[in-house]
Structure formats: C-alpha cells, structure tokens
Chain A
C-alpha cells in the first residue's frame, strides 16, 4: 500500500434531522419506497452536503454509523415472511433492511461516488464512522466525506427496555440522524475547524446499557439529554455536534470526551 500523504481534515458543515421527516417535493418520488431510517439519513445528509459535492462526484464519499440499523424494516420483513409464508416475503423490505441501504440511497440521490462505508457499533457509531472517514480522507484519493449517525428505536427494543428495568419515563420509538461534511480542501484552512484526532475505545458491556443508554457523560460542561424526540443512541453524536457548533473564532482547541459503561472516546478539534 502506498505511503500516507499528510492531509488535514476540516469540518465544513453539520446538520441534524430528528423525528418524522418532512420530505421535500423534489425527493418524494426518489424516497417513495424508502423507510424512515433512510429518509432521515437522506435529509440530514443533503442538509450537510448543501452544494458541497463539487464537480467531481468521485471526490465525495459517505460514512454512516449506526447501532442497530433499520430494525423496523427488518421486523417488517419478518412480518411479511410470517404473514405471507416462505417465498412470498417482501423483496423491497428485504433490500431495505440491510444496514447499508441508507448509504446506498445517499450515494445515489446525492451523486456521491467515492467510498461508501457503513459501520455498526453498539456504543458510539458516529465516532467510529468519523474516525474511519478521517483515516480514509488522509490515505485515499478523495476530498470530501459525508459522515452520518442514523438511529431508529424499534418498538421491539423500546418495549424490551421498559421491561429490563423500570424506566424514568416510558419512552416511545424515536429516530433521527446527524450529518457532518468533512473536507481536505486546503482553502478551508483558515475558516473551518480542523479535526485533529479521534480515539474510540469501546468495550463489551451489559446489554442493559445499550437498551437504556443511561449514564453517558459528555464533556466539556454538560451531560446532554438528546431531547424528547431524539433517539438515545444519537446522544453522543448530538452532543459533539453541539460542541462543534459552539466553537467560536479565537477559541482554543475543543477537547471533547465521552465516557460510559461501553467505553470512552475523545475528539480534538481546533479552530
């Protein structure tokens, strides 16, 4: 493999899409078969990309992290199998139940022909996707990466969470996505925050943590509650996004950390 070429990676734009999305008219036809997991991914991704895909679609990749993927669609496929019998299950639900279906939609609808990677991690998949995007941008021949966290709380797991121990408040299924556009374009040097380092160390932990996502601590300054409509699995991505948005001109480096039963992570960003 060729030797790495040193490239700085900058955060060009961030966006989020929480709750049931409102599909703009120009995407209605393209998203008519898409599930809500894909819809929130496409809306967050297109908001972060803006007009940033540039002239060459091969220069932009997509990196998507998720804890459980499109679980509702997975169960929808099981419904179709149970109700219709073998050989009669829904082909559309099956093809949309794979974890990378959303990345495929993003690539197709936003015309992104660089690398397309989906990673699954029970703890902080956005940080995992961010780390992979940074490494890939540093080593591989493309310039921009759309990085997303997409989460959907299936009623199956929500119900399991309520039974695993008494919840503080009865949760209802939620979904949402966070998207960042990263770039290595050198003209960004003087105006965009630079993503210096990401370290993610997840460990195997009790299933109850993943069900209830309690006692996640994000620093500096706050333990962010992701909001009533946001899935709990998105909390880390939302907290980091908020921290990045709060970096002002002239501020010192942001050293952001996450700690929880599932491990620890740190991100360093400089203006």
Chain B
C-alpha cells in the first residue's frame, strides 16, 4: 500500500502519526492557493514525482501536465507498486484494473479560465484540455502501460471506500487479475468555500466525536492498495499485508447532505459488509475506523448506527483518523483503510486526537485521545458516509 497525507509521506509515517506524532494543521499554504478563509487545513507534503525510467517511459511526458489530485494519486500508486514487489514488466502481463475515487479530481475548477470566459474572453484552451484528460484512473493506466477495467468513482466522501470495494468485486468476478485501487483529492479553494458556505468547518483543528466539536477541516492526500486474489499472490510467493474480507454499501434515501439521524444506510452497509465477509460473530471485529468528520450530525448518526449493530456486551474501539489528515474527501476512505490495516498490524489502537470528552449524546462511546488499547483480533471496519446519502463499509484483516 501507498499513502500520502498531512499525516505522512508513507505508511510508516502514518503509523507514527496514529501513535502520537504531531501532525501540522494550519492555514492554507500560500503556494496551494490564496484565500481569505481562516479555517485550518491539513496539507500533504509535496514531493517531486519519480523521474521517468525505462519501466515507465510515459511518466515524464504525462506528469508535466498533471493536476494536483492526479499527482497525489500517482505518488501513492507508485509507492504501493514498489512496496508490493510486483515488477512493472510483470504488471503488463496481467489484466490490471484501476479504480480510484475522487471529488475534486474530476471537477473543472480552473478559476482563471472560467473568470475570463464569463467576461466574454476566449482564454487559451489548455485548462479545458487538461481537465478532459485528467481522469486519474486513465492517467495511471497510461503511465503504467497496463490494460483492464478503469474507473473513477465519484461518490463524494465515500469514493475511496467504494473504489476499494468495487475493485474487490472486479477480482471476485474475474474482470481483472490484479487491481490498483484507492482514492485521491487535493485541496481546492472551491471545496474550502463550499464547506465554509455549508457552515460545516471548524475554525480550530477538528475534534471528531468530541462534545464541543464544531465541524471538519479539509485535507488532501491519496492512498492506493494493490489487490490480488490470494491464489495469485500465493503463486507469485508474495506475502499479503492483509485481506479485504468484505464490502457493503447502501443509500440513506434521506437528505442531500445530512445523514439519516439513526444512520439507516450505514447500518445496512455494515450489515452487508459483515455478511460479505462471512463474519457471523461481531466479536471478531477488533476495531472500527469511523468516518468521524467532527460535524455534529455525522458523528451522532455514525455512533447511532454502530450502537444498533454492536450491542452493549461487545463494542470494539471506535476511532476517527480525520484529526490526523483532515477530511480528504474522495481519498478519505482509502487513507482510512490504510490506517485501519496499520492499527491492526500494530495490534493496538490509539484514541482519536483531540477527542477529550466524548459527546454524552452518543449511544456508542469512542476511544478518547489519551486512551490506547490492545486489539483483540486482526479484523476491523473502515467506513464512510457521503453527501447524497451514500454509506460504505470495508471489512479488513491484517496479516500476522
């Protein structure tokens, strides 16, 4: 797996952040965009893309024209591929599916172009061409020189979770031999203003699940997992770092932006994912990485759904990692899947940063900042909720 966000440049740094390393959260960097908004954000450290190599001859030419979301996706994907040990030449012998989630990455947000256009000017068409050619899955497919199904999932904040679940379905149904899946999103002035307009942002670093939480902070990042069938990994003598055991998704059918108050769709998604994973005993779930945006309605709906699924006799530790990354939108579900696998591998989980006093209205108590608990197993849930009422859940298991 590969992962880039404010919490780190790779999975090891993300684990250190999960275990207490400070993560910067502050004003939008001047080089990202100029804004008068004062809401803090989590920006990912920039790094140059790898130089073109004989393995990826198209990298240099294509990378020069990439938008920030595609750059993040590419960094995470190349990192994941290197770590998987799969040689690029071997990759090209397989049917490789590429399934990535995004929101910002598929929006035409070139403000300069649009401002000039609406004033009646005829600005150069380069931004239009860049937008039309910036489908992040198609770009990755071209750079890697692979063929197979290619898809961008645009389910708002659940996109990354759904991209992983869909890729898992591709493998099960035989549509590809190997899948490169995850999500990516860069910070954008448009989304910062959108969430500000919706009054869903906190003027301080976010406090998921805390009693006095005020809302989310936006972030940016990408995470990519390399998925293949167990038999294929076994034949190639590749040791998996974990398993995607189950996937479920369901709609709230409730409201354009607010979740169902009892998390109706999330309950259905978790139930479907557990059934898909063939986990009849919920005590096998060792931890839950929640969506935990720190908005009042999300955190209440999410804990309500979990209280309906996990009865009082067994409630696995619930955390949110958005206090380490901000809300990375289409990347969130993929980054959180990586965090979940890291915590399960580590066999302990730390409570949510800045959650010092959980909201007493919650029917399910999350783990607080100063708590760290050993995990009782190697299987966990990672779940997402989205605008439009989408809900998705992954069941993940870490390898011993």
Using a CB–CB distance below 8 Å, which chain A residues touch chain B?
Answer: 1-4, 57-58, 61-62, 66, 68-69, 71, 74-75, 77-79, 81-82, 86-91, 94-101, 103-105, 107-108, 111-122, 128, 131-132, 135-136, 138-141, 156-157, 159-160, 163-164, 200-204, 206-208, 210-211
When distances are taken between beta carbons in the complex, the residues of chain A under 8 Å from B257 are: 95
Binds A, one of B6-14, B146-154, B306-314, B319-327: B146-154
Chain B residues contacting A1 (CB-CB under 8 Å) are 168, 172, 244-247, 276-277
**In-complex Cβ contact of B36 among A61, A86, A89, A105 (8 A):** A86
A89 touches B193 (CB 8 A): yes
Known: A101-B256, A160-B125. A107 touches B190 (CB 8 A): no
Q: How far is the CA of A77 from the CA of B193 in the complex (A)?
A: 10
Residues of B within 8 A of A89 (CB): 193-194, 196-197
Q: How many residues of B contact A (CB 8 A)?
A: 77
Determine if B151 and A156 form an interchain contact, defined as CB atoms under 8 angstroms apart: no
A158 to B128, CA, bound (A): 11
A61 and B391 alpha carbons, distance in the complex (Å): 12
Is B138 at the interface (CB under 8 A from chain A)?
yes
Q: Are A163 and B387 in contact (CB under 8 A)?
A: no
Within the assembled complex, what's the spacing in Å between the Cα atoms of A136 and B103? 22
Given A1-B247, A204-B138, A211 and B172 contact (CB-CB distance below 8 Å) = no
A81 adjacent to B190 (CB under 8 Å): yes
Residue of B nearest to A96 (CB): B256
Assuming A95-B387, A115-B249, A140-B272, what are 4 further A-B pairs, CB within 8 angstroms? A1-B244, A2-B277, A68-B108, A117-B249
Q: How far is the CA of A118 from the CA of B151 in the complex (A)?
A: 10
Q: Nearest 3 CB-CB pairs, A to B?
A: A104-B388, A94-B194, A99-B154
Q: Specify which of A77, A97, A101, A116 is in contact with B249 (CB 8 Å cutoff).
A: A116
Contact with A along B109-125 (1 / 0, CB 8 A): 10100110110001001
B174 to chain A, nearest CB (A): 9
User: Is A58 a contact of B250 with CB atoms below 8 Å?
Assistant: yes
**Residue pair B128, A204 in contact (C-beta under 8 Å):** no
User: What are 15 A-B pairs at a CB distance below 8 A?
Assistant: A1-B276, A2-B276, A71-B108, A75-B108, A87-B193, A89-B193, A100-B387, A103-B155, A104-B389, A113-B264, A116-B251, A117-B153, A118-B155, A135-B170, A156-B128
Shortest C-beta distance, A220 to chain B (Å), equals 24
Residues of A within 8 A of B276 (CB): 1-2, 140
Residues A118 and B108 in contact in the complex (CB < 8 Å), given A90-B197, A95-B198: no
Q: Determine if A121 and B197 form an interchain contact, defined as CB atoms under 8 angstroms apart.
A: no
Distance in angstroms between the alpha carbons of A76 and B3 in the assembled complex: 34
Closest to B152 in A: A120
In the complex, A182 Cα to B114 Cα: how many Å? 39
Q: Kindly provide the distance from the CB of A158 to the nearest chain B CB, expressed in whole angstroms.
A: 11
Interface stretch among B129-137, B282-290, B341-349, B355-363? B129-137
A232 smallest CB distance to B (angstroms): 13
Closest residue of B by beta carbon distance from A115? B249
Q: Please report the C-alpha to C-alpha distance between residue A116 and residue B156 in the assembled complex, in whole angstroms.
A: 11
State whether the Cβ of B162 lies closer than 8 Å to any Cβ in chain A: yes
Interface contact B272-A160, CB-CB below 8 Å: no
Question: B149 touching A200 by the CB < 8 A rule?
Answer: yes
Complex contact B118–A79 (CB within 8 A): yes
B196 touches A100 (CB 8 A): no
Q: B residues within 8 A CB of A58?
A: 250, 268
Residues of A within 8 A of B86 (CB): none
State A90–B196 Cα separation when bound (angstroms): 10
Q: When chains A and B are docked, how far (Å) is the Cα of A69 from the Cα of B103?
A: 11
